[in-house]
Amino acid sequence: MIAENFSLKQYNTFGIDAMAQYFSTFNSIERLEELLEFKKPVTSYAVDTPFILGGGSNILLTKNIEGLVLKNEIKGIEKISEDSDAVYVKAGAGENWHQLVMYCIHNNLAGIENLSLIPGNVGASPMQNIGAYGVELKDVFHELEAFHLTEKKAVQFGLSDCEFGYRESVFKRKLKNQFVITSVTYRLNKTPHFNTSYGAIEQELHAMGIQTLSIQAVSQAVINIRRSKLPDPAVIGNAGSFFKNPEINQQHFDLLKKAFPNVVGYALKNGNVKLAAGWLIEQCGWKGYRRGDAGCHEKQALVLVNYGEAKGNEILRLSDEIIASVHKKFEVELEREVNVIE
């Protein structure tokens, strides 16, 4: 079934009311192949590159989408093999990410507990190499299967093929819009290597009264911190951090530090410094700013929000203004993390 003029409001966590000209879901590669044959009625125009949708938690829709939107609902989670240290778990792209984290925790499989409660689906996890609390997807990634939209064939990608970086992968860059990721296989550890040094995890574990570390406890600590810091999309529309944290060289950081002694930066292994974009944005006076229904969250300046009926373009314009003011004050370029669909 292919729906026509279908509202995507319930299908993006910003809650933007944009339409898909055509919309359908697929739960198998066979069904995807059938949908790729779809021809727009009357004209002979074939929609050869549909827009692939997961949980819609990292997109900003700025207009109606012409052509076909296909929501990936390929399901299934299975242990496919194991060695002395690790278990390999393969998940369908349409599985909810947090459900996969919970599956691993219940099965005592370690490695993704710090990535608890990130919204969205398995299929998008490699897209921007999701990360939080000192762990990135690439740390547990084994391989993925993807289907080429025009050549209509399945291709396997290993770790180096994906060109993972900070909120980056080959799928966001040179292979953009060419593949549908259909499944991802993760390498989970039988024995946990706890990573609790990041942010407030230690503090939260202490507040929880945890004496003995476990992946369950770390997951719960991350969940508690995230709930206290980030707006819930079910209450206020948002797509998490709207911008990436920018990287600058040490010389630039020294100059900033002189002018702004409180600037927040973290030293990187490559000698550069990663700045907290939330701090830069807050210093420019945007935190809590609201124009119509578009705004900058009052507790977390890195998160842009839709209070109800904002248009994607209103949020995009606000993000342009934020980029310009951060540039003017700090000579730092902010880059959007969210995928803007124009």
Catalytic residue, from 145, 247, 314, 337: name it: 337
Sign of CA dihedral 236, 228, 200, 297: positive
For the CB of residue 178, give the shortest distance to ligand FAD in the complex, in Å. Answer: 9
**Count of residues that interact with ligand EPU, criterion CB under 6 A:** 18
| 143 catalytically annotated | no
Identify the three-state secondary structure at position 205.
helix
**Which is closer to ligand FAD, CB of 178 or CB of 214?**
178
Q: Considering the complex, what minimum distance in angstroms separates the CB of residue 324 from ligand FAD?
A: 24
d(CA 248, CA 250): 7
Q: Which does 13 bind (CB under 5 to 8 A by kind): ligand EPU, ligand FAD, none?
A: ligand FAD
Distance CA 307, CA 287 (A): 15
Q: Locate tokens 């727009």: which residue?
A: 40
One of 47, 60, 132, 215 touching ligand EPU (CB under 6 A): 132
Nearer to ligand EPU, 70 or 248 (CB): 248
337 counts as catalytic: yes
Active site residue 81: no
Considering only residues 77 to 116 of the shown chain, the ones binding ligand FAD according to CB under 6 A are 93
Cα–Cα separations (whole angstroms), residue 254 to 262, 264, 325: 12, 12, 20
Is residue 13 a contact residue for ligand FAD (CB under 6 A)?
Answer: yes
Catalytic residue selected from 241, 247, 314, 319: 241
Q: Which of residues 129-188 bind ligand FAD (CB under 6 A)?
A: 130-132, 179-181
Select the residue interacting with ligand EPU from 55, 278, 295, 312 (CB under 6 A). Answer: 278
Residue 13 CA: distances (Å) to CA of 94, 133, 259: 16, 22, 38
> Which of ligand FAD, ligand EPU, none interacts with 276 (beta carbon under 5 to 8 A by kind)?
ligand EPU
Residue among 116 and 283 whose Cβ is closer to ligand FAD: 116
Side by side, the strands of the sheet bearing 247-248 are: 247-248, 273-275, 265-267
Size of the chain in residues = 342
CB count in 10 Å sphere of residue 37: 9
The stretch near ligand FAD (CB under 6 A) out of 55-63, 188-196, 271-279, 292-300 is 55-63
How far from the centroid of its chain's Cα atoms is residue 151's Cα?
27
Report the C-alpha gap between 304 and 237 in whole angstroms: 9
**To the nearest whole angstrom, how small is the minimum distance from the Cβ of residue 172 to ligand FAD?**
7
Site for ligand FAD in 234-293 (CB under 6 A): 238-240
Task: Tell me whether residue 158 or residue 288 sits nearer to ligand EPU (CB atom).
Answer: 288
Report the chain's terminal Cα–Cα distance, integer Å. Answer: 26
Q: Nearest approach, Cβ of 223 to ligand EPU (angstroms)?
A: 12
**Where are the extended beta strands (E) located within 190-311?**
237-238, 247-248, 265-267, 273-275, 290-291, 294-296, 304-306
Nearer to ligand FAD, 55 or 111 (CB): 55
Provide, for the chain, the percentages of residues in helix, strand and coil under a 3-state DSSP scheme, each rounded to the nearest 5.
25, 30, 45
Which stretches does DSSP call E strand in the chain? 3-7, 19-26, 51-53, 59-61, 65-72, 77-82, 86-92, 131-132, 135-136, 141-148, 154-158, 179-189, 237-238, 247-248, 265-267, 273-275, 290-291, 294-296, 304-306, 339-341
Please tell me whether residue 219 binds ligand FAD under the rule CB under 6 A: no
Residues forming contacts to ligand FAD in the complex (CB under 6 A) are 13, 51-59, 72, 93, 118-121, 123-125, 127-128, 130-132, 179-181, 230, 233, 238-240, 339
Which residues does the annotation mark as catalytic?
Answer: 167, 241, 337
Residues forming contacts to ligand EPU in the complex (CB under 6 A) are 132-133, 199, 229, 240-241, 244-245, 264, 276, 278-279, 282, 287, 300-302, 337
